[in-house]
Structure 1
């Protein structure tokens, strides 16, 4: 059979390409042909039109909204997550082979129906896993487009503090005073550029949540709704609400039947105009202030955390990061940390540091254990240890997936304990971090880098020790069972 596939994860770094590779390997083992489009952070090369036409089925392994999905109208489509593709690519291909072809209909009508249904499935009352998965895809679409702004802005602000100290925020506007010969001016420039990048966070989040729900016509309402959320002080939470609201409003408007003379201008004029007006009114007049009050309460709660409460939060987020090694629970914890960066509070910066520390532990711990106690690991696991060093150092938790996929009951609990410990220690030490990504490569920009490194090392050591002990116990148990089965005939 011939398949085409699209893979996409929220960060677009690891899962996207691991899923693509797994699908390609599974297709080769089945004797099938497959072309995969990876919608990752480095961009993507679209599937050739000829490949789509020749395909017997389409595989969509994505945790975010797939762009230009209307290309596949009229083809059997199997949807799954990137984690499913990594762990069971053959199963997705089998589903694709068995999927019935949809009824043939007018392509233009099929595209319009797809947009309307995909945008309103959650609001129309879809229940169960499908509804929850769709909502998570919409939210992760917004987060994935927001992350580059957070990374650029956060790193520039962190660099400005490293060069000019924490009073660099009081420096005059560089458009009025900039001296190329002084380090302070360059620090102020970096700070002001980073702050400008941060101003896009909530509008971009809202805009692309709406885009994931209702495609391009929802972009303008989403961006404006996000900007309105910032204006009234609703922040990150307001951006989430504005994005979902904009997507739902535009999706609802698309279902209204209009004359053919008007249909041509609906996507570029009518839908953005009406959507922006409705969302703007609701955010400025109705929803903005209540959401701002909730956001203020959340910020005050974060700022009030200290001592055991802060450590408990760090341990909880650290455990969530390692729970599914880059899956939905991991992304919830990461999104919570990234969202806190928009508040600018000291505790929010500590949470970001704790989450990144916890995320680096699993790949590095497994790489260390597989290197020091290689006999406890299979040949494939020892091979996976090599890239795991770099992936872990880069804060790509997915580097631990090859180990967890083959031995989840011993690997995952061991990783949870070490990651939770690293998160708790980081919070206890009061380490701060403005960068949402980068791992050890942003260590010079971390507040209290020595203590941060200590928290990570302790977490790695705990997880490596636990997984080694777990594998040793499991191996001895297997050997005992094997020896008993050999001796039993003699004893009889």
Structure 2
């Protein structure tokens, strides 16, 4: 009796590599459509800051409560509240889009609920990406489970989505959320000693943190560490804390400015959707909204995120060395009036932007980046 042919190690390797590329293509196929979801609320925030200044963040609720719609301040408050709320729920949109890309409509609701769980623990869009991918894979796996015909409708509409939702929520809250929370607490503790022993190194760490998850828990930890003493009487502000705050703000501006610049330097490395988004995406970077780099990062996280973190680290270290300060934890260029040594602040931002731009272009141009470029081309022509 002839022996059945077994796949060789080379065949298994090629098959697993093909599956990995196909799964990666599915995982990032939503990215070209993500730009407007980020750009519209981001531009709303930028308009609010341009109209009413950075302190609208402190008075937006009061302005809306008075309800005097003849005043520009009230409209600015509405724009700010709407834009920031929409940006805070990006994890839901990302999770739903990824789940649909991986497993179709059946995965959308479990994935979106997983993204909502990520929002609840402030885990950010990367946790939303994980939630969508996990919900999609779990949905595909459960679709292979045989069920009696009389239970088919119940299993597809309630049972399987419920199991997927519970499993995804546990992944987001019990695994990713707990890990990020522990990491943030550890980083906060390490920074507490580092800021006095080596301020430049503290600035580099804070700068990398500001770009690590683009508005997620690690970014929020950096903002919270820098702003811990920026409340109350301005005359009692610590110069060190104002410099730390400036390092976080300057670094957080880097990804949103550098990635649009990279699309101008090497257009062929980016999809048409990314290039179109870049025309407005840089405004989010200028306003210190790290979320501005999300469409680029989720399409190619293994290259964009390290490049962003390195540029942020360069900027954070330079701010600490040059002594720029900030009295406010928001606003970006719209808060330059609250910034000490603004030209040195902007110089540090430029250095980080050039670093991230060069590294992003370099990483995307390497030979092993060819499949990613081919995927980008296919997505651009099909979308």
Structure 2 equivalent of residue 85 of structure 1:
128
Alpha-carbon distance, 1:345 to partner: 1.0
Given the superposition, is the C-alpha separation of residues 58 and 399 from structure 1 closer, same or farther in structure 2, using an over 3 Å criterion? closer
SS in 1 for 2:200: helix
**Does residue 98 in structure 1 map to residue 160 in structure 2?**
yes
Alpha-carbon distance, 1:469 to partner: 1.6
**Does residue 328 in structure 1 map to residue 217 in structure 2?**
yes
**Does residue 61 in structure 1 map to residue 104 in structure 2?**
no
Structure 2 equivalent of residue 346 of structure 1:
239
Given the superposition, is the C-alpha separation of residues 135 and 469 from structure 1 closer, same or farther in structure 2, using an over 3 Å criterion? closer
Alpha-carbon distance, 1:84 to partner: 3.1
Q: 2:337 aligns with which of 435, 441, 444?
A: 444
Q: 2:91 aligns with which of 19, 27, 30?
A: 19
Alpha-carbon distance, 1:15 to partner: 4.4
- What value does the CA root-mean-square deviation take over the aligned residues? 4.3
Alpha-carbon distance, 1:28 to partner: 6.9
Q: 2:278 aligns with which of 385, 389, 410?
A: 385
Q: For 1:380 and 1:80, how far apart are their aligned partners in 2?
A: 26
Q: For 2:303 and 2:180, how far apart are their aligned partners in 1?
A: 28
Structure 1 equivalent of residue 359 of structure 2:
466
TM-score, L = length of structure 1 = 0.44
Alpha-carbon distance, 1:323 to partner: 2.3
Given the superposition, is the C-alpha separation of residues 137 and 13 from structure 1 closer, same or farther in structure 2, using an over 3 Å criterion? farther
Alpha-carbon distance, 1:412 to partner: 1.8
Q: 1:311 aligns with which of 174, 183, 200?
A: 200
Q: For 1:434 and 1:81, how far apart are their aligned partners in 2?
A: 26
Q: When you count helix as a share of all residues, which structure comes out higher?
A: 2
SS in 1 for 2:367: helix
Q: For 1:90 and 1:312, how far apart are their aligned partners in 2?
A: 35
Structure whose alpha-carbon radius of gyration is higher? 1
Structure 1 stretches lacking a partner, 5+ long: 1-10, 36-54, 67-78, 102-125, 141-239, 241-293, 480-492
Alpha-carbon distance, 1:441 to partner: 0.9
**Does residue 359 in structure 1 map to residue 227 in structure 2?**
no
1:61–1:84 CA contact under 8 A, matched in 2: no
Given the superposition, is the C-alpha separation of residues 81 and 334 from structure 1 closer, same or farther in structure 2, using an over 3 Å criterion? closer
Instruction: Give matches, 1:25-36, under 5 Å.
Output: 25=97, 30-31=104-105
Aligned length: 254
Given the superposition, is the C-alpha separation of residues 63 and 88 from structure 1 closer, same or farther in structure 2, using an over 3 Å criterion? closer
String of CA shifts for 1:401-429, please: whole Å, max 9, x gaps.
Answer: 22222222222221122111111111111
Structure 1 equivalent of residue 50 of structure 2:
none
Q: For 1:420 and 1:26, how far apart are their aligned partners in 2?
A: 30
2:89–2:116 CA contact under 8 A, matched in 1: no
String of CA shifts for 1:217-256, please: whole Å, max 9, x gaps.
Answer: xxxxxxxxxxxxxxxxxxxxxxx9xxxxxxxxxxxxxxxx
Q: For 1:85 and 1:365, how far apart are their aligned partners in 2?
A: 23
2:92–2:113 CA contact under 8 A, matched in 1: no
Q: For 2:370 and 2:108, how far apart are their aligned partners in 1?
A: 42
Given the superposition, is the C-alpha separation of residues 347 and 64 from structure 1 closer, same or farther in structure 2, using an over 3 Å criterion? same
SS in 1 for 2:116: strand
Structure 2 equivalent of residue 375 of structure 1:
268
SS in 1 for 2:227: helix
Structure 2 stretches lacking a partner, 5+ long: 1-82, 140-158, 164-169, 373-383
Instruction: Give matches, 1:144-293, under 5 Å.
Output: none
Q: For 2:223 and 2:355, how far apart are their aligned partners in 1?
A: 22
2:99–2:133 CA contact under 8 A, matched in 1: yes
Q: For 2:294 and 2:352, how far apart are their aligned partners in 1?
A: 18
Q: For 1:326 and 1:455, how far apart are their aligned partners in 2?
A: 20
Alpha-carbon distance, 1:331 to partner: 2.2
Given the superposition, is the C-alpha separation of residues 423 and 26 from structure 1 closer, same or farther in structure 2, using an over 3 Å criterion? closer
2:92–2:115 CA contact under 8 A, matched in 1: no
Given the superposition, is the C-alpha separation of residues 31 and 470 from structure 1 closer, same or farther in structure 2, using an over 3 Å criterion? closer
Given the superposition, is the C-alpha separation of residues 324 and 82 from structure 1 closer, same or farther in structure 2, using an over 3 Å criterion? closer
Alpha-carbon distance, 1:62 to partner: 3.7
**Does residue 405 in structure 1 map to residue 294 in structure 2?**
no
Q: 1:337 aligns with which of 226, 233, 242?
A: 226
2:205–2:313 CA contact under 8 A, matched in 1: yes
**Deviates further, 20-29 or 446-455:** 20-29
1:431–1:451 CA contact under 8 A, matched in 2: yes
- Of structures 1 and 2, the one with the larger relative CO (CA 8 A, separation 6+) is 2
